[in-house]
Chains A and B, each alone.
Chain A
Amino acid sequence: MNTATAPGLPQTLADNPRLDRWVRFTAPGEVAVATGKVEIGQGVLTAMRQIAAEELDVAPERIRLHSGDTELTPNEGYTAGSQSIQFGGVALRLACAEVRSLFLDHAAERFGIPRAELSVRDGAITHRGAPTGQDYWSLAADIDLARPAAGDTPIKPVSDYRIVGESAPRVDLAAKVFGGPAFLHDMKLDGMLHARVVRQPRRGATIASIDEPAIRRAAKGPVEIVRDGDFLAIVGNDETAVEAAAAVAPGHVAWDGVDALNPYQEEARWLLQQPSVDQTLGAPPADPAPAAARHEATYTRMHVAHASVAPSCGLAVYRDGKLQVWTHCQGVYPLRAALARTLKLDPAAISVSHMQGPGCYGHNGADDAAADAAVIAMRRPGKPIRVRWRREEEFGFEPVSPAMVVSVQAALDETQRPADWTTEIWSGKHTNRPGGGGNLLAAEALPDPPPAPLAVEAVGPPGAGTRNGEPLYAFAAKRIVHHLIAETPVRTSSLRGLGATLNVFAIESFMDELAERAGEDPLAYRLGVLSDPRARAVVEHVARMSGWQPGAPAGAGHGRGIGFARYKNMAAYAAVVVEIEVEETVRVLRVWCAADAGLVINPDGAINQLEGGIVQATSWALKEGVRLDPSGISSRDWEGYPVLRFSEVPEVAVELIEPKADRPPLGVGEASGGPTVAAIGNAVAHALGARIRDLPLTRDRVMAALLKA
């Protein structure tokens, strides 16, 4: 078999070139389609089904979709970075187009009919629209799909689309609405044991003593205590007993080597005093510097939690030398590699299958919970192990999004527009996934723990901490200065938007500050320096949607603000306007969003993602910051870590710009967050007549700003 990879293939198709890794005709009337991307609440399964059905010309109901499974699906890395449709969907589309084409080539040859006269209708081969009596399934035995994609098949023109571009309902919603099995948390295996882990309070902590009788007494039923090094778990067949033991266990284990942290580090400015790995990206400073005027301002954000609605879960069973793992993490192949390293197993002896979990907005506890289950399963061969983290465990031990400081410095020309722009960023790591150098919590507790992950993070586009650090505006010279802080008080990693959230907040706040200096309307000021026509279109569109009026008076307690970004400067464009009122606290009343995501596979699904991003970002902006005490994260429940509740949610209107245009799809899942946070910040400044540059925009900060104003 020729396994050479054709040039110019989409990346994940090049990585997984065999067509039968993507499409197989198994049962009659059914097409098995595989995607390496996984459902994390964003509706990707529905969209992938539409893409495959469209390109194969079969009814969507015929698609049997496999997703995120090391035994069944291509390796597409992580489901992250708003890349599933933009890259994974494009790869699947091409694979499906090529499969369809191979069948038509074969049918043409077999029937002696010109290829151009053949087509496919719901899987049946037609000749000038008439049935031929053959279909994918009758011909499947003749066509070997275990061949590399050539990548030269034309995809269907957008004008022929019947399935893509329609708002197909979510394939996974009904099971959830009727309370059927839908989540990994609901999975039950014969003989399954429940387990909870007693976590090391801090990295490197070692067990001094365990009061096992006290733990067992609390269980009120039989439980096993499993220990290896500093990995400690409670296991039993009655989840209630295991949970009761786990609830008291942290109080009955004494630890050595627990480094106290400085709670002052919950606010971001401590980053400014830390050693850092520094890199500069972009144009050198202009020489001589434009000297008309300068403006500089600094913005900060606390650590932010993913705070999924439920804690993480993992299942594993080790049987006959094979480890089988079920997880709701974002990348089954990287997790398999990390498990192989941790457990010293051959990756081929491990299978990892994705199942849905509570909404995932980045690297939360899911990988760690799977590793916990695997570690215990290895020590109890033949027994399926289910680990469900405790709520305080998820809040206390999931990686959080790092605190950040962003300083923007601009030299202005005589029209008060930046001639030279610097975004200077101080941040811990946004990329600490198990496949990306980061570790699994269980691995750190086992004997011979791996070294701490290196302080390395790619800065170049799309970047992580540097993400969206470069404004899209047409300034003559722009650069990013990145200070990567190696040592953070708590484990940090990717949260929806990564660095873009604070970078966009900083850039867009700064733009409003510049507009104010120039005595111009903030929307008009932006359009004055925005040359990308698609960027201009979303800004102009959201202005129309929101009835934007220049010259609304500031300081009236009621305000409106705008924020704009193109996510990663390479995914979807989004412009957001918000209307707020402030008394002692900020209340977001209405939000309008215009987005350009290129060709949209499922418009309602894309709008749902943009809406969700707006609500979540409103929560980030107004409420969210991880609290620390000397022992670690102290905000371990929903009272300590409040999020936006129903009565605080604004009305939201989202419109897509030309969603059926023949343009490449652009990732949309993270596009609205940064612009929303920025728009809220600008609206608060407008309402108060004073700017708050530190997130979240809490009552205390509002009161302080009012005192200063």
Chain B
Amino acid sequence: MSHYYEEQDLERFQEIGKYRPELYDNFMNYYQGVMAGGALTTREKALIALAVAHTVQCPYCIDAYTRASLEVGSNLEEMTEAIHVAAAIRAGATLIHGIQAHNVAAKITI
């Protein structure tokens, strides 16, 4: 193993099911149910997944959902916009925690 993240490991995902396969099966059923078209289209869901993949910074998910987004007809403009949404929420979440810093500072300063 030359790197912690190996590209080909994505295809080995199902090996996780070797132990406690019932948990893996439960996960897969849930996962496939979530990602199927419903009130949201598969195209919209792929863009959400791509955005989330960036917030969790999972290279496997970024790889998978970049391909998935292209395969449902999305373009780089839409994908980049989705990533910006993720980034904006992360930035906003960071900033709102700044209030905690202010609160702490207010509490301990004269």
Do A and B share a complex?
Answer: no
B interface residues, Cβ below 8 angstroms from A = none
A interface residues, Cβ below 8 angstroms from B = none
